[in-house]
Structure 1
Amino acid sequence: MYTTDGATWTQSAGLRKGLPTIGVVEPAKLNTDAGDDYVYDAIVIGAGYAGLTATRDLTTQGKKTLLLEGRDRLGGRTWHATINGFNYEMGGTWVHWHMPHIYREISLYGLQDDWIVTQIPGSKEDYTTLTSYGEQRNISHAEEADIVGRVWRLFCNVDGDDLRHTWKYAFGTDQSPDLMAEWDKLSCQDRLDQVKRRLSVEDLAVLEAVVLQMGSHTPTGLNDIALHTRLRSGQSKLHRCMFEHAVSTGNLSYSFQTPVVRIEDANGIVTVVARDGTSYRAKSVIATVPLNVLSSIEFSPPLPQEKQAAAAEGSVNKCNKLHVDLNGPDWLSWGSLGAPGKGLIALFGDGLTAADNSHLVGFGPDPNTERGMQLDDIEAIKVAVKDLLPKDKAEEVVFNRIVYHDWNADEFAKGTWCYLPPNFITKYLSALQRPHGNVIFASGDFSDGWRGWIDGAVQAGMQTAKQVIDLQSKQQKVLPKVNAANGVNGA
C-alpha cells in the first residue's frame, strides 16, 4: 500500500509523490461497543516508537486503549519504503545493541539477527572523500575514523577529562547540575568557536559536517554505533510487530488519518477532539507528538507556562535526509564528509539495490539556510551530490533514483531528530516530562537517554505506559470501601 508521505524521482517517470510501505494502516477500527459516552482506559496520540511502545504495554496489561494517529501509517519519524525490493529508511534508521530499549524490542520480536551493515568494504571506490572549503582529498576509512574520532572527542570534551567524572552514566541528566547548567548555555556554534583554533581547515570542515549530520555519542560513535547497523527488514517491520502484538490482545482500538486538535481534562475524564470534530474519552492520555508539533494542540486547562515556552522554542534541527541510487556497484563502500557543501554535507554507501546499483544516504543542513536546498529541486540535489563526489569522477555518475521525505514540511514532524537550543535542558526538560493532570507526555525529544534517537522514544513510551498503569491501579485502590456488613457492598 502507498502512503501519501515521501517522494521518488527517476529519469523516466520524473518526480512522484507517495511511497509504498508496509506501515500503512486502514483508517479506523474502533471498539464496536463504544458509544458517545464510552471511556477508554487510555488514549495514545501518535503511532511512532513512543506511541507504539506505550500502546503495546498498555494493551498487554489489559487496558482498553485507543491509538490515534494523524498519518496514514505507523512509525512517526521512522519508517521505510520498499521500491523494487529495496528498503529505503526515510527517517530514523540506525539501531545498535548498545541502545538498550530498542534492542529489547528487536530481540523480543525475533529480529536480533536481522541486520544490514552500512558501508560494506570491498567495492571499487573504497575510501572517504573529504571536501573542505574547496579543497578535496581521498583518505582511507581508517583515516576517516581517526579524524572523526579526534575532532568529535575534542568537541565533546567540555570538562577536559572526557566527562569521566562529571558525567558518569548516560541516562542521568541531573549529574553535576552546576556544570550541566554551564554547558547547557552553549550552542553547537559556541562550542565550535571554542575549539576551532585547535583544528586545521580540514578538521574543522569534518567537525562541522559531523555536527550537522548526527551529533554522535562516543568519540568514534559515528562509525561504531550511530551509522553501523540497521534492520534488514526495515523499521516498519518492527512497527508492525509491535502494533499487531497490541491488536492481538483484543484491547486495542485505533484510528489513523485522525489528527488531534484539542485535549480537555475535566472531572477525571480526558476528552480528545480530532480535526474532523469527533471526540473520544479516556481516563488517561499519553501524548507522543514531537516537541515541534506540541503547540499545534489546544489544551484545557492550558499547559503550564514552562511547557508552552518549551514547545514554542522547540527543536532547532531542520536538516535534510535523502537517498540516491547511482548506476553500478562501485560506490557501495564509499563515503564523504564536507563543508560548507552545496546542500549536502555527508553522503555514504549503504547497500546495493536489487539491480546491483549503489545506494547512498545523504544529509544536508536546514533547507532555508544559505547552505541548504529544497528537496523537490532535483537538479540541486544532483549538484549537491556531485560536490561531495571525487572531482575527477563526479560527471561520470548516472543517477537512477532519488528518494526522500521532506520532514520540515511535514505538519506532524516540523523537523528531524531533536537538537535542543542553549539553556533548554536546564529550563524545560523536567517540565516537559511532568504530567499535566491526566495527560502524560512521551517523546524521544525529551527522554533521559539517547535523546533524539529511536532508543529514547522507546524508553519514553515504556515509562509513560507504566505511569498510567500505576496511576490507575492507585486510583482503584483508594476508592471508598464500605463495610460489607451494612448490606451495601458485597451483600
Structure 2
Amino acid sequence: MVNSSDGFTWTPTEGISQGLPTIGVVVPPARSIQPQTATYDAIVIGSGYAGLVAARDLATQGKKTLLIEARDRLGGRTWHATIDGFNYEIGGTWLHWHMPHIYREISLYGLHNDWMVTQNPGSKEDYCTVTTGDKQRNISHDDEAYFGGRVNEIFCNVDGNNLRQSWKYTFGTNQSPEFMAKWDKFSCKDRLDQIRDQLTAEEATILEAQLVQMGGNSIDKMGLLDALRWFALGSHTGTGLNEIALHTRLRSGNSELHRRIFGHALSSGNLSYSFKTPVQRIEDKGGIVTVTARDGQKWKAKSIICTVPLNVLSSIEFYPPLSADKVAASQEGSVNKCNKVHVDLAGPDYLSWSSLTTPGKGLVAAFGDHLTPAGNSHLVAFGPDPKTAAGITLDSIEGITSALTYLLPKEKQNEVSVTRIVTHDWNKDEFAKGTWCYLPTDFTTKYLAALQRSHGNVYFASGDFSDGWRGWIDGAVHIGMQVAHQVIQKQKQTTAAVRSHI
C-alpha cells in the first residue's frame, strides 16, 4: 500500500505523520493507449466518483477515453486510508440502498454484503451528550432520535405537510417553482428565527448542531433550500435522513469500490490516464477541445467532461470564456468548509456514544463509528468553517483534542486518552476548497441549471451540480452517468449527421 500525499495522522508516540496509506494511489501514475498527439473521443477531468463512472461508461462503450487527475489517487473528495487494519473514510463516507445510483455500483461490483454499521449500541457510555451553554445533559439515544427528529421536522415543515406535496419527487428539478424560489431566499438562520419560540434551549442546540454538521458553516451562510431537499430525501420524516445517510458504510472502504470501477474501465482497453496532472486550460476550437496541464502537456478530444468541484471551477481557464452565470456561480460557490476529524479513544467505552453542541469550541458533533482492531473507540467528529467564530484550524493537535474533549461529559473529560487523530484539511486543499456541497441562499434557482449546462463541447459533471443527492456520493455517480450518456448520444448524432452528407 502506498501513501497519498493527502491527509495526516497523529499519535502521542509518533507525533504528526504527513500522508496516509491508501489503495487509491495509482502506480505508475500514467498510462496511454495511443500517442499523445492523437485525438481522444473524450477526456474526463477528475477521478472522483463522477469522473470514474463517466470514464467507465465511455470506455466500456467503445470510446477512446483519457482520465486526467490532479491528485496521486482515485476518489477526489471520497477516499479511505488504512492504518493498523482500520479503514478511515477521509471524505464522503456513508452509503445506503435508498441511494439508487451508488447502490447500483455497489451491487454491480459484488459489494452488496460488504456493510458495517455506524453508531452500534451496547458500550459503557451508551448515550448522547448535549451541551447548551454552561448546561450539559446525557440523554438516551431514543431521546436523541426523538428530539432530533422533532426539531428537524418543525424546521423543515414550511408548508404544513412536511413537503409531501411541495417536494414529492426529490430528484425533480422543475416542480413547485414558486415554492422553490420563495424558500431559496431564506437562510437556515432565517428559518430558525421563525420557529425559535417553539423550541426549548436544548432543542435549539440540537437543531443548530445538526444544521452546522450538514452545512459546515454558520447557519446565516447556509441556504434553507438544501436543508429542505435533504429532509425530502429522508422520506419527509425528521429522522429519515440520519437513518439513510449516517448509518451504513462499506467495510472494505470507498477506495475499494473506486478500484473496481477503475479496473473495469481499464479492462475495456480504451482507457488512458494521467495522475498528478492538474489542468490549467480548456480550449474549444474548431470542434476539437484541447486540454493543457500546468506542466505544459496537451491532449485533444472531441468532448470534455469536467468533474472538478464547484469551488475549484474558477481555477481553470476556459476558452471561449464561460458564460456570466457560470462564472458568478463558481465565484460564489459552496459554503461548506466543514472540518471532519477521526479521533480514536483508548478502550471500547465510547463505541455507542454521541454528542451535539453549539457553538462548541471547534467541533459541534461526534459519534462512535465502530472499534479499531486494537479495541479502541473510533469517533467521527464535525466542526464548522475554521473562519467562523467557533471554528478551529487543523494545524493544532491541541486545538483538535480540546474541541473533542469539550463534547464529552464533564465528569469524563479527564479520564479519556486520545490514541490517534486522522484527518485531511479540505479547506486548504487546492483541488477541493471545501467539503461536500452545501449552497448559500438564492443560489439554486439562479445558478443550478447554468452549472449543469454544457459549454460547447465541454460538459460538467460534478456531484456539486447534480439533482437529488447533490453533495453526496450518490449525486456524483448520478451526474457522471447522465453526462457520459449525453456525450455518447451527442457523438452518435454527429457521426450520423456526417454520414448523411457523404
Match of 2:475 in 1: 456
Provide the aligned C-alpha RMSD in A.
Answer: 1.1
1:143-185 per-position Cα deviation (integer Å, ceiling 9, x unaligned)? 0000110111111112121111111111012111011100110
Contact 1:145 1:223 in 2 (8 A): no
Match of 2:360 in 1: 341
1:131-152 per-position Cα deviation (integer Å, ceiling 9, x unaligned)? 1112111111110000110111
Trace 1:314-333 onto structure 2 (pairs within 5 A): 314-333=333-352
1:92-147 per-position Cα deviation (integer Å, ceiling 9, x unaligned)? 00010000000000000010110010011111111111111121111111100001
Match of 1:89 in 2: 89
Match of 1:34 in 2: 35
Match of 1:155 in 2: 155
Could you say if the C-alpha distance between residues 382 and 168 of structure 1 is closer, same or farther in structure 2, counting changes exceeding 3 Å?
Answer: same
Match of 1:488 in 2: none
TM-score w.r.t. the length of structure 1 is 0.97
Cα distance in structure 2, aligned partners of 1:279 and 1:35? 8
Report how far residue 317 of structure 1 moved.
Answer: 0.7
Could you say if the C-alpha distance between residues 40 and 137 of structure 1 is closer, same or farther in structure 2, counting changes exceeding 3 Å?
Answer: same
The question of 1:290 aligning with 2:309 is answered yes
Report how far residue 16 of structure 1 moved.
Answer: 1.4
Cα distance in structure 1, aligned partners of 2:29 and 2:19? 21
Runs ≥4 residues deviating over 6 A = none
Match of 1:190 in 2: 190
Q: Counterpart of 1:231 in structure 2: which amino acid?
A: L
Contact 1:50 1:459 in 2 (8 A): yes
In the alignment, structure 1 segments of 5+ residues that lack a partner are: 484-491
Cα distance in structure 1, aligned partners of 2:501 and 2:248? 58
Instruction: Tell me which moved more, 324-333 or 214-223.
Output: 214-223
Cα distance in structure 2, aligned partners of 1:461 and 1:388? 38
The question of 1:210 aligning with 2:210 is answered yes
Secondary structure of the 1:263 match is strand
Secondary structure of the 1:478 match is helix
Trace 1:111-126 onto structure 2 (pairs within 5 A): 111-126=111-126
Contact 1:27 1:255 in 2 (8 A): no
In the alignment, structure 2 segments of 5+ residues that lack a partner are: 215-226
1:9-36 per-position Cα deviation (integer Å, ceiling 9, x unaligned)? 0011111110000000125433353142
Match of 1:274 in 2: 293
Report how far residue 222 of structure 1 moved.
Answer: 4.5
Match of 2:458 in 1: 439
Contact 2:342 2:423 in 1 (8 A): yes
Match of 2:223 in 1: none
Report how far residue 480 of structure 1 moved.
Answer: 4.5
Match of 2:218 in 1: none
Match of 1:487 in 2: none
Instruction: Tell me which moved more, 73-82 or 192-201.
Output: 192-201
Cα distance in structure 2, aligned partners of 1:421 and 1:32? 43
Report how far residue 196 of structure 1 moved.
Answer: 1.5
Contact 1:286 1:441 in 2 (8 A): yes
Secondary structure of the 2:498 match is coil
Aligned equivalent of 1:473, options 492, 495, 498: 492
Cα distance in structure 2, aligned partners of 1:175 and 1:99? 21
Cα distance in structure 1, aligned partners of 2:385 and 2:500? 59
Secondary structure of the 1:395 match is coil
Secondary structure of the 1:7 match is strand
Instruction: Tell me which moved more, 296-305 or 186-195.
Output: 186-195
The question of 1:264 aligning with 2:283 is answered yes
Cα distance in structure 1, aligned partners of 2:500 and 2:282? 32
Q: Counterpart of 2:334 in structure 1: which amino acid?
A: S
The question of 1:50 aligning with 2:18 is answered no
Identity, in percent, stands at 67
Q: Counterpart of 1:33 in structure 2: which amino acid?
A: Q
Match of 2:219 in 1: none
Match of 2:410 in 1: 391
Cα distance in structure 2, aligned partners of 1:413 and 1:27? 23
TM-score w.r.t. the length of structure 2 is 0.95
Cα distance in structure 2, aligned partners of 1:35 and 1:197? 65
1:20-53 per-position Cα deviation (integer Å, ceiling 9, x unaligned)? 00000125433353142x1000000000000001
Q: Counterpart of 1:139 in structure 2: which amino acid?
A: I
Aligned residues between the structures? 482
Contact 2:153 2:162 in 1 (8 A): yes
Instruction: Tell me which moved more, 114-123 or 213-222.
Output: 213-222
Report how far residue 481 of structure 1 moved.
Answer: 3.9
